[in-house]
Amino acid sequence: MEAQSSSGLLLSRKRRREGSNGEAEEGERLGKKIPRCTVGLKHPAPFADELVPADNKPYVRVPMEEAKRGTPPERPVRVYADGIFDMFHSGHARALMQAKCLFPNTHLIVGICSDDLTHKYKGFTVMNEDERYDAVTHCRYVDEVVRNAPWTLTPEFLTKHRIDFVAHDDLPYSSAGSDDVYKHIKEAGMFAPTQRTEGISTSDIITRIVRDYDVYVRRNLQRGYTAKELNVGFINAKKYHLQERVDKVKRKVRDVEEKSKEFVQKVEEKSIDLIQKWEEKSREFIGNFLQMFGPEGALKHMLKEGKGRMLQAISPRQSPSSSPTREERSPSPTFRLPFFSKTSPPPSPPSPAAEHPYVL
């Protein structure tokens, strides 16, 4: 059940072309979590001609309705998918995954055409037939591989391998003088359509290699392949070696430029920090200066206080407005010598004649 749920999640993902950079698919992939499961596959899928022959029971196809409902474990729905599978990639794997997930109980048989048929009807391949056979056997969705599969499916081939349905994308496949090699399969009700994965195919991969031919030749020369192995002439080989040296120099110059930019950026950051610290210190210094020497600074208050104290110390006290009379003044102390310590008799009162000399 876990494998089916994870397969359903994979089928629901949208595939975008190269230009989208896979942003939509990556967003969906990050948004949902898949339950953990351990698949017990330890061996590649077997080849059909190496399996024990099937029992002698007559071949009876499973109807579509019964296949969708689910069949008994001993009678899985046998689905056949064929192709060239040159340079086996994720588009191939997704197509086989869809074929495997068509029904709850599916036995997936994959047919692979030989080099002779492929070169005759489609063109030259990068991988030979043995490499293509081996690549498909290691796909986790495949249960059985048919080598040297026919280009057009015949009733005898379908009966021999007890095939219930044929899985392929529903676009007409014109080849071998036919507008659609799967036309008779569709008319018999045995066709189960799948969807192509946009943006990835063997032709697309070959196009990338041809488009960037010089890049890949230089790459392989750098990895140790000889010019003869790459079918490159002497002059072109020297040209590629020269280009590689020039590119190395360019990379070094680019690295130096990047490092110099980083150094300049660090110096600018440090200078900005120093300027900010200097501004802060200068503001602090100016504030302290104004607090001390400004119009209302501490120095002015100190001078005012000192001036007031100096004036109080220099100026005399103000004399009273009226001086006291002789009677009001306190008597001055009498100075007596020690030998005049005895008190003398009081003086005699004056005579009347003395007080009034002109009185006769």
Position 74 scores a pLDDT of: 86
Query: Residue 28's Cα: distance from chain center in Å?
Result: 16
3 state SS of 166: strand
Q: Is the per-residue pLDDT at 6 higher than 50?
A: no
- Res 41: pLDDT: 76
- 3-state SS assignment for residue 15: coil
- The per-residue DSSP string of 50-93 comes to GSPPPPSSPP-PPPHHHHHH---TTS-EEEEEEE--TT--HHHH
Q: What is the pLDDT of residue 346?
A: 57
Banded model confidence at residue 316, pLDDT cuts 50, 70, 90: low
Helix (H) or strand (E) holding 144: strand 144-147
pLDDT at position 185 is: 93
List pLDDT tens digits, range 228-250.
Answer: 888 888 888 888 888 888 888 88
Average pLDDT over the chain reads 80
Do 132 and 84 contact (CB within 8 A), yes or no? yes
CA distance 166 to 186: 9
Higher pLDDT, 131 or 317: 131
290 Cβ contact list (under 8 Å, min separation 6): 297
Query: Helix, strand, coil proportions of the chain in percent (round to 5)?
Result: 50, 10, 45
pLDDT band at 15, cuts 50/70/90?
very low
Give me the DSSP letters along 98-129: HHHTSSSSEEEEEEE--HHHHHHHT---SS-H
Nearest-angstrom CA–CA distance, 128 and 217: 22
pLDDT tens per residue across span 83-125: 999 999 999 999 999 999 999 999 999 999 999 999 999 999 9
Name 110's bridge partners.
81, 145
| Structure tokens given for 25 | 């698919």
Q: What are the two backbone dihedrals, phi and then psi, of residue 77, each rounded to the nearest 5 degrees?
A: -80, 120
- The whole-number pLDDT of residue 24 equals 47
Query: How do residues 274-315 score in pLDDT, each as one tens digit?
Result: 888 888 888 888 877 877 777 777 777 777 777 777 777 777
Written as six digits, the tokens of 323 are 């001086």
pTM for the predicted model, two decimal places: 0.61
pLDDT tens for each residue of 20-59: 444 444 445 556 776 776 666 788 999 998 988 776 778 8
Report which residue type is found at 156: E
Question: What is the Cα–Cα distance from 189 to 62, expressed in whole angstroms?
Answer: 11
Token couple for 177: 């003088």
Give yes or no for residue 16 having a pLDDT over 90.
no
> CB under 8 Å to 170, separation ≥6 — which residues?
191, 193, 194
